């Protein structure tokens, strides 16, 4: 059955790859991110390629009134969201806590934690009204263990871990599925953003082992939406073969 899927952070990485896989499978998509040109061109390409409906929304999830406005103003036929993928997120900087930069901290907490909450706040009532829905929060192995210099990013993903559990419990009575997917290292724009655009430094993160790709993670995300109605994956940690957790990666 055709569903409406809403994906935040759809302009790159996991989000963009997830748009593609849902479109391939015939679903309609609301795609949100800050880079307007990117989501517009992704929307045009996907519409052409897969003949599905795509609604691109320029959105900074940190801006609560903009988030409210965007969902209040959705055309009625787009309000029946079946799956929300809270994917927008970032790491900014990699420093010991004593050297941390306040702007980086605010960026990570505002995006990864508050942004996820703002979007969920708007979509949950739409799902409750339909008596069904599926919220997928993109956590991280960084939300399971803390690594050196990971401090605030790890804290933000531990918050996603806790919020996912909280949502699952609170939404039980409404028949809404809640899933956390916690990936390990995957080569996307993530490290480039973390290192303020330094491509060389970003590349080094993935030296000596085969990391996951955005497509690998998108397949897992898609899979969690294909289970029978009565099943819900609550928490799924996925890494490449060479990675055991946040701390242990086997490099050749």
Is residue 222 flagged as an active site residue? no
Element housing 179 (H / E): strand 176-183
Q: What residues form DSSP beta bridges with 236?
A: 181
Q: What is the pairing mode between strands 176-183 and 54-58?
A: unpaired
Q: For ligand NDP, which residue of 90, 119, 136, 249 counts as binding (CB under 6 A)? A: 90
Q: At what angle are helices 36-50 and 13-24 packed, to 10 degrees?
A: 20
Q: Which of residues 121-150 bind ligand 8X3 (CB under 6 A)?
A: 140-142, 150
Q: Does 181 bind ligand 8X3 (CB under 6 A)?
A: no
Is residue 201 flagged as an active site residue? no
Q: For ligand 8X3, which residue of 32, 127, 160, 185 counts as binding (CB under 6 A)? A: 185
Show the CA angle centred on residue 99, arms to residues 94 and 100, nearest 5°: 60
Q: Does 246 bind ligand 8X3 (CB under 6 A)?
A: yes
Q: For ligand NDP, which residue of 4, 5, 6, 15 counts as binding (CB under 6 A)? A: 15
Element housing 72 (H / E): helix 64-72
Please state the closest distance from residue 32 (CB atom) to ligand 8X3, in A: 20
Distance, in Å, from the CA atom of 111 to the CA atom of 20, rounded to the nearest integer, reads 23
Please provide residue 12's backbone torsions phi and psi, each rounded to the nearest 5 degrees.
-160, 175
Q: Which of 186, 164, 174, 176 is nearest to 225 (CA)?
A: 176
CB under 5 to 8 A by kind: which of ligand 8X3, ligand NDP, none does 246 bind?
Answer: ligand 8X3
Please provide residue 131's backbone torsions phi and psi, each rounded to the nearest 5 degrees.
60, 30
Q: Does 71 bind ligand NDP (CB under 6 A)?
A: no
Give the count of residues interacting with ligand 8X3 (CB under 6 A): 6
Q: Which of residues 26-65 bind ligand NDP (CB under 6 A)?
A: 33-35, 38, 59-62
Catalytic residue among 157, 177, 199, 222: 157
Q: For ligand NDP, which residue of 54, 167, 193, 218 counts as binding (CB under 6 A)? A: 193
Q: Does 14 bind ligand NDP (CB under 6 A)?
A: yes
Please provide residue 236's backbone torsions phi and psi, each rounded to the nearest 5 degrees.
-135, 115
Catalytic residue among 50, 118, 153, 222: 153
Quick one: DSSP state of residue 226?
S
Please state the closest distance from residue 169 (CB atom) to ligand 8X3, in A: 24
Q: Is 5 helix (H, G, I), strand (E, B) or coil?
A: strand
Element housing 8 (H / E): strand 4-8
Q: Which residues are known catalytic residues?
A: 153, 157
Q: Which residues lie near ligand 8X3 (CB under 6 A)? A: 140-142, 150, 185, 246
> Which residues of this protein are in contact with ligand NDP, per CB under 6 A?
8-15, 33-35, 38, 59-62, 87-90, 111, 115, 138, 140, 183, 185-186, 188-190, 193, 214
């Amino acid at each position: 059955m055709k569903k409406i899927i809403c994906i935040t952070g759809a302009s790159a990485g996991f989000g963009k790859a997830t748009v593609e896989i849902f479109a391939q499978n015939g679903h309609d998509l609301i795609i949100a991110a800050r880079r307007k040109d990117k989501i517009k061109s992704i929307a045009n390409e996907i519409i052409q390629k897969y003949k599905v409906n795509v609604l691109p929304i320029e959105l900074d999830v940190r801006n609560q009134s903009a988030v409210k406005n965007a969902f209040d103003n959705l055309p009625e036929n787009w309000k029946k969201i079946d799956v929300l993928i809270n994917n927008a997120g970032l790491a900014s900087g990699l420093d010991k806590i004593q050297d941390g930069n306040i702007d980086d901290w605010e960026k990570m907490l505002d995006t990864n934690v508050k942004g996820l909450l703002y979007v969920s706040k708007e979509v949950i009532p739409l799902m409750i009204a339909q008596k069904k829905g599926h919220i997928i929060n993109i956590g991280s192995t960084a939300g399971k263990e803390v690594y050196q210099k990971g401090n605030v990013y790890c804290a933000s993903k531990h918050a996603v871990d806790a919020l996912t559990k909280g949502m699952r419990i609170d939404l039980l009575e409404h028949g809404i599925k809640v899933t956390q997917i916690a990936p390990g290292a995957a080569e996307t724009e993530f490290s480039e953003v973390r290192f303020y655009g330094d491509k060389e430094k970003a590349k080094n993160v993935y030296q000596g082992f085969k990391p996951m790709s955005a497509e690998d993670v998108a397949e897992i995300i898609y899979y969690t939406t294909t289970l029978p109605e009565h099943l819900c994956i609550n928490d799924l940690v996925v890494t490449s073969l060479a990675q055991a957790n946040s701390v242990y990666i086997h490099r050749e």
